[in-house]
Amino acid sequence: MNPYEQVKAELDKLDIKFDMVEHPAVYTSEEADKYVVGKAGMKVKSLFLTDNKKRNFYLVFMADDKRLDMKKFAERVNEKHIKFASEKILFDKLGLRPGFVSIFGLLNNSARDVKVYFEKSIIGELPLTFHPNDNTKTLFVKMSDLKKFLNDLGYEYNVIEM
């Protein structure tokens, strides 16, 4: 089963409806935005972070036109320093490569050791955008359905202001 089929099977199992836009391979949220212009949804960027000792892992979702204040986020999660996780850690933890980071990578996190954070401004009625572990597609999924997805996998999540 390819990555998209794995995500689709999980969403179908949970009766989660989504819209999908197919497009050429993209590696940043800015590139992906070009293919979803005019479609109702909150464009989201997904960041995979770790602490200095590589013991804590964070998947952060925020509006794609904002920049994460790493120092402020580190304070919020009681860390001294936060940085982007290496390609190796990203692959080991989420089974993903750079440019593919998504909430759906949690399907591959058998240790269930990634903490999930949503920036408050993206929570609302508009569906959020994510790659289905395949950077040639963008899915639009409602927050209520993402909660169902996270609960099914056994993840708690935090909503924070950044």
Per residue in 46-77, pLDDT tens?
Answer: 999 999 999 999 999 999 999 999 999 999 99
**3-class SS at 51?**
strand
Q: Indicate the pTM of the whole model.
A: 0.94
Contact criterion met (CB below 8 Å) for 114 and 32: no
Tokens of 11: 């969403």
Number of structural domains found in the chain: 1
Q: Residue 128 maps to which CATH number?
A: 3.90.960.10
Whole-number Å distance between alpha carbons of 7 and 82: 29
Q: Which structural domain, as residue segments, surrounds residue 136?
A: 1-158
Condensed to tens digits (0 to 9), the pLDDT of residues 104-153 reads 999 999 999 999 999 999 999 999 999 999 999 999 999 999 999 999 99
Looking up tokens 């935090």 gives 158
